[in-house]
Structure 1
Amino acid sequence: MGPMEINGLPAHALLVHVVVVLVPVAAAMVMLSSVWPAARRRLGVATPLVALIALVSVPLTTHAGEWLEARVPADPLVRRHAELGDSLLPWVAVLFLAAAVSWMLSRRVHTASRPVHPGVVVVVAALGIVAAAGSIVQTYRIGDSGAKAVWHDGFSQTARGDEG
């Protein structure tokens, strides 16, 4: 992939917002769909679509972050952020898988002559809830470490011109 800049800014600084918004939104949609059949019907294909966009955004953002990491001074906080960033993809992949399977099962329930075993629905729902929780926790941890890497020693407790 070529330079990872958008209008002169590191793409990572912009792409990270897609992940920070869509991963929790997809997680919330999966959780709702897992525990509330009416939500599953109403959200329909939107849940796996949002989860898919979130899934695609993770490696794009990680790649842009690796590009940026190679262009900033070595820093243990940046390294920690990069290590945590590498941990998100499996969580979001399982989140997407649970969203897609749940959607397919809900469609099958309404169209198939053979009913879906309730145990399968429960297992998929449990997997979705675990993946949603893990995705949200990891997104928070990664974002927190990124903010610390960017802002440590980067601001004053007092505003310019404040005397006290």
Structure 2
Amino acid sequence: MEYSFAGLPLHVLLVHAVIVLTPLVALLLVVLAAWPAARRVLWLPTLIGAALLVPLGLLTVEAGKWLEARVPEAPLIQQHTGMGEELTPWLSGLLAVAVLTAAWALVERADSRRTSGGMSRGVRVGVAAGLVIASLAVAIGSTVTLVRIGEAGSRAVWEGSFSEDPLER
């Protein structure tokens, strides 16, 4: 498969979407876990964003492998490429927590429509605490992994390829 667009390697374009969307979805999950009012409104867009991130991440990795085969071998590029697949489990984790959060939002919605009984405060607090812990874990893990991979990629591209001082024009 050809992984280029308008003469540019597709990896270079896709990586920007992953860099923006991963921390955004991660942050939204933490907010939704901790804030029931936000969960009622934003659970679906967050779920869709998390669901799109998994194939986007996989496509970005494949485009990166395609690009690696088309540039000279270099230890920094090999390090970056080796780290690239480390993000995929975290994206799956974001999706799993988004599914749990969406399910909880729907359970809360159904419970609020009941005329009698309903969930106890303890159940609500317990589930919310679990969601906060899970969302913080995947938010921190995915963001730290993303930063490490991105830093390795930046070094692979830019280290030693620019002047510390402005060039004479």
* Percent of aligned pairs with the same amino acid: 35
How far is 1:92 from its partner?
Answer: 1.1
Please say if residues 95 and 132 of structure 1, whose CA atoms lie closer than 8 Å, have aligned partners that are also in contact: yes
Q: Distance in 2 between matches of 1:143 and 1:59?
A: 15
How far is 1:45 from its partner?
Answer: 0.5
Q: Which residue among 128, 140, 146 is the counterpart of 2:153?
A: 146
Q: Distance in 2 between matches of 1:55 and 1:29?
A: 16
Structure 2 length as normaliser, TM-score? 0.88
Gaps of 5+ in 1: none
Please say if residues 33 and 135 of structure 2, whose CA atoms lie closer than 8 Å, have aligned partners that are also in contact: yes
Please say if residues 4 and 11 of structure 1, whose CA atoms lie closer than 8 Å, have aligned partners that are also in contact: yes
How far is 1:39 from its partner?
Answer: 1.8
The alignment of Structure 1 onto Structure 2 pairs a total of residues equal to 161
Amino acid corresponding to residue 82 of structure 1 in structure 2: T
How far is 1:42 from its partner?
Answer: 2.5
Amino acid corresponding to residue 161 of structure 1 in structure 2: E
After TM superposition, list the pairs within 5 Å mapping 1:17-96 onto structure 2. 17-96=16-95
Please say if residues 51 and 92 of structure 1, whose CA atoms lie closer than 8 Å, have aligned partners that are also in contact: yes
Q: Secondary structure at the match of 1:44?
A: helix
1:8 and 2:7 are equivalent in the alignment: yes
Q: Distance in 1 between matches of 2:119 and 2:65?
A: 47
Please say if residues 91 and 131 of structure 1, whose CA atoms lie closer than 8 Å, have aligned partners that are also in contact: yes
Partner of 1:97: 96
Please say if residues 30 and 128 of structure 1, whose CA atoms lie closer than 8 Å, have aligned partners that are also in contact: yes
Q: Distance in 2 between matches of 1:40 and 1:153?
A: 46
How far is 1:37 from its partner?
Answer: 1.4
Q: Distance in 2 between matches of 1:141 and 1:26?
A: 18
How far is 1:38 from its partner?
Answer: 1.7
How far is 1:133 from its partner?
Answer: 0.9
Please say if residues 32 and 39 of structure 1, whose CA atoms lie closer than 8 Å, have aligned partners that are also in contact: yes
Gaps of 5+ in 2: none
Please say if residues 77 and 149 of structure 1, whose CA atoms lie closer than 8 Å, have aligned partners that are also in contact: yes
Q: Distance in 2 between matches of 1:122 and 1:17?
A: 32
Structure 1 length as normaliser, TM-score? 0.91
